[in-house]
Amino acid sequence: MAHHLGELRTAVKAQRCDATQSRQNLGTLLAVSTDVGPAFPGVEQPFLDAAEHLHTQVQNALQAAPADCAALATAIKPVSDSCHSCHEKYR
């Protein structure tokens, strides 16, 4: 998960934001984010909500189909916010 978000961040930093590659990384992140809830059986509902929130944010980022670095930076901001908010509480 960190790997794919990391690649997107690196792309923004390097100002190399290939639309196809961004979409691939977001797509993988979307698939992985689906597994976060099931990966922790028996967790409390707020955790599952946080996982669902992440999933939604990644979906939004994919739908935004960021074509350049500015768009990519904007698109992944809410995604990394949802990573942080869950980590603050549960990690």
**Token pair of 6 as six digits:** 């990391």
With binding defined as CB under 6 A, does residue 46 bind ligand HEC? no
What is the C-alpha separation between 33 and 53, in angstroms, rounded? 10
What is the C-alpha separation between 34 and 26, in angstroms, rounded? 12
Instruction: Answer for the pair 22, 8: CB distance below 8 angstroms, yes or no.
Output: yes
With binding defined as CB under 6 A, does residue 54 bind ligand HEC? yes
Instruction: Count the site residues for ligand HEC by CB under 6 A.
Output: 15
What is the C-alpha separation between 60 and 55, in angstroms, rounded? 9
Of 35 and 68, the one with the shorter C-beta distance to ligand HEC is 35
Least CB distance from residue 69 to ligand HEC, whole Å?
19
With binding defined as CB under 6 A, does residue 50 bind ligand HEC? yes
Binding site for ligand HEC (CB under 6 A): 1-2, 5, 36, 47, 50-51, 54, 79, 82-83, 86-87, 90-91
